[in-house]
Structure 1
Amino acid sequence: MTTRITAVPRVVTMPAPAGEIAVPFADCHITADAQAAALRVLQSGWVTTGREAVAFEAEFATAVGATHAVAVSSCTQGIELALRSLGLPPGSLVLSSTMTFCGAVHAIVHAGLQPVLVDVDPATGMPTPATVRTAAQAYGRPAAMVVVHWAGDVADVPALAEAAGVPLDRVVVDAAHALGTYAGVVPVGSGCGATCFSFYATKNLPLGEGGMITTDDDARADWLRRARLHGMTADAWRRYLPGGSWRYNVADAGLKANMTDVQAAMGRAQLAHFPAWQRRRAQIAARYDEQLAGLPGVRLPHRPAPGDGTHAWHLYPVRLRLNGGGDRDKVIAALSERAIGTSVHFVPVHRLAYFSQAALIPSTGLTGADALFDQLLSLPMYPRLTDAQVDAVCRAVTGIAHRGISGKGTE
């Protein structure tokens, strides 16, 4: 059975009017071969971290050009583990974009470190060297930085690290949106200290839950494999293999953050479909571009300049500026009435009550993120989205945009 996500925060899916096409915001497609792989593991007698996880790690590392991949329970846990692996003193400053999912900044807090929020360029949704320098100068040189490739677009990680005064091995890349993103001709997943991926239900490689950390550092990979299972020197699978020993030691504080073999077997099967899924995402983005380009009050998503990289099209976030600003939430409601699901990525972290106190925010404010947030709207984007559904979304957005600009109800 395929699970379809038909409701997201801020959206109420309504019955489709006659002649309209219902378009859920997201679609968690678990292929038949991934379902069969899960069943095979369930019948094997070994369902937690074991042979399948090891194989998935090797196949994933090859796919993104990394030396090591370490399977974990979520991208959030991956970021926390990657930060813990640095061995920083408690309370050390860590930079993070404010335009990110709250979990990424929670990971900094849970690692015992102090998040410092960085503003973004409204055109890209990502920090610039200038906004990074502003944040770094406000509180002193940071010890590390978390960089997000927002929506699947390409962040200039080396330039941001240089602006922060942080060496690349102390950069943790949040690639929850970026499986399939390329920086130039290099896939995101190698070249930095650690890169963390998500397999959440809405992601480009959906498993429902799960994550992966990639690194080219042998010692760091060894530490991460221990730390994801309480810091134990040998996991259960290796202890129970023929010839294995029950003995183990714990030298460091660890977490319970391992991936099961059920998830890993599904991931291996899903990974075989990933190239085709990415081609389809690019086709959908091009179809949106063709129909929405030049529409008054609607700005298309940023994407890398030719030669600078490849967008993964995890999201298709447009910026709305209807009637000199417009009301994004009214557009969401109007699309919902047409049975079209949407979402907003994200509420800037500094606008969330907990982080307004727990994070450090430059006194100059985070005006770029504030301006962007009030305009953001993510349209449906997933491989099984049909051309007819894309066209229905575009017709609806076009009609709303024309009403917003002219006050007339032209469709």
Structure 2
Amino acid sequence: MKVLVIGSGGREHVLAWKAARDQSVDQVYAAPGSPGMTDVAECTGISEHDQDAIVSFAKQNRIDLTIIGPEAPLLAGLADRLLDEKLMVFGPTQKAALIEGSKSFAKSIMKQYNIPTGSYEVFSDYDKAADYVKQQGAPIVVKADGLAAGKGVTVAFTEQEAFDALHDILNDEKFGEAGAEVVLEEFLEGEELSLMAFVHGETVVPMVGAQDHKRAYDGDKGPNTGGMGAYSPVPQFGDEDISRAVREVLQPAASALVKEGRFFTGILYAGLMMTAAGPKVIEFNARFGDPEAQVVLPRLESDMSAAIIGLLQGGKPELSWSKDAVLGVVAASIGYPGSYEKGKPIKHIPEADLLFFAGVKKEGSELQTGGGRVLLLAEKAAQLNEAKEKVYDKLQQLDDTYLFYRKDIGDKAIFRASSDI
């Protein structure tokens, strides 16, 4: 089988890495790919936004399966285009991907189909939104309605923080069209769980859980990012917690999209708050989480590509998962998620089996920073604390002149596990 992975980030690197290890796969391509992915994929350099070139490449090279990694091509209708050309693609159509593309749409689906989530209101006017904040008080969650690369969410612990976030989104138009509307949402208390599933219509095949760390700095301080590290499994949540989340969230969401004429094929991601009353949805994504994919897929022992093909052909594949833990830490450009410099050398990169590159480019033989999140280094071990020790031992080798990373990924789970002994 020939597999084409669309995208160039860390999520796409691990997708290509996993596909390259699948027994069913002979060749992996990436569009565009990156200099960090050349060990597992032939990088075409074709932009993920160039639908004509992607279709042409897929036809000429007789691609058997195209897996779309990032959200932007999905919302631009790349899956629709490939389907129109009778090509096999794993990723939702433009209509189905709206579950991620519009937070207000996702909230309306949850409300209509009784999928548990926090209360909310949608606004396009700053004054009306500010009045709502005054009525509700803080803490409150402020979200740009559209795609904002994981940076359009503010958990405001004071009313002033909420007013500032509203001003950035609605008045200063910090996120452009993505901020034409804002969703003000109830602050949910509990612990977060990222739960993803392979979905085709009403067939839902869940993965193991993961937890990521959104804040930029240690102790969950600083601004929200696209994710600074993740780990799997999440020992504080057992099999019954996962089953309940599938039963109350993922399965109803997949069924709701079918009923709404938005048949979903691809990865449905539920960002959950595990509250005292049960799982509640923080957000839905229409693709693999990043960095969650980098810690979940290394635990998948089954042939991913064959499982996807089986799902697309109407089956319900059974997946086998390693009991080992995987913990991964993101190294990001200094200044991220704000402004940062590109083109800085990445030196003394540790050797690791689970090293996934994101924002990188190459000048001659030198690998350089090309984005905010630059790489993720993960390790696998029998226990989470062992995986963490191995990761941070290796990260000490990395030249961090132009990079930074959190030092506390997984700490809460490891502390809780040690306290339970």
Query: TM-score with structure 2 length normalisation?
Result: 0.29
Q: Which has the higher helix share?
A: 1
Structure of greater relative contact order (alpha carbons < 8 Å, 6+ residues apart): 1
Q: Which has the higher strand share?
A: 2
Query: TM-score with structure 1 length normalisation?
Result: 0.30
